[in-house]
C-alpha cells in the first residue's frame, strides 16, 4: 500500500470511530448534573419539558418549544451541552 492509501484508511477509521463515539456519553455518574439542572436548562431556553430519560449514557429530553413543536434533545450529562436535536417521533 502507498502512504496515501494508508493515510486515507486511517482517516476513514478515525471518522467512523468518532461518529460512533458521538452517539454515547461516557461520563462517570459522579460527574453528572442532577435532573433538576436539566429541567432548569430546558426551561431557561423557553421549552416545556415533557420527559427526561437516559439513553446511551446521555440525558435525552422530550420537549415542546414556544411554537408547539415537539422534539428530542440529547444532552451531555456533565456539561448540559446539547449534543443533538431531532424531531420527536413518539408524539405524532
Per-10-residue mean pLDDT for the chain, 92 residues long? Answer: 49 44 81 97 96 96 95 97 86 50
Pairwise CA distance, residues 72 & 51, whole Å: 9
Return the pLDDT at 17.
Answer: 39
Pairwise CA distance, residues 57 & 49, whole Å: 19
Task: Please name the residues in contact with 41: beta carbons below 8 A apart, sequence gap of 6 or more.
Answer: 75, 80
- What pTM does this model have? 0.70
DSSP category for residue 34: P
What CATH number should be reported for the domain holding residue 41? 3.10.450
Return the pLDDT at 16.
Answer: 42
The burial of 63, by beta-carbon neighbours within 10 Å (0-12 exposed, 13-18 middle, 19 or more buried), is given as buried
Please tell me the total count of domains within the chain: 1
Residue at 10 is within a domain? no
Boundaries of domain holding 72: 25-87
Which residue has 467512523 as its cell numbers?
16
Amino acid at each position: 500500500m502507498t502512504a496515501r492509501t494508508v493515510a486515507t484508511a486511517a482517516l476513514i477509521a478515525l471518522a467512523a470511530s468518532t461518529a460512533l463515539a458521538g452517539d454515547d456519553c461516557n461520563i462517570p455518574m459522579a460527574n453528572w448534573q442532577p435532573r433538576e439542572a436539566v429541567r432548569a436548562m430546558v426551561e431557561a431556553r423557553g421549552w416545556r419539558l415533557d420527559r427526561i430519560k437516559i439513553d446511551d449514557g446521555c440525558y435525552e429530553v422530550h420537549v415542546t418549544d414556544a411554537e408547539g413543536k415537539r422534539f428530542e434533545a440529547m444532552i451531555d450529562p456533565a456539561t448540559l451541552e446539547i449534543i443533538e436535536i431531532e424531531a420527536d417521533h413518539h408524539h405524532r
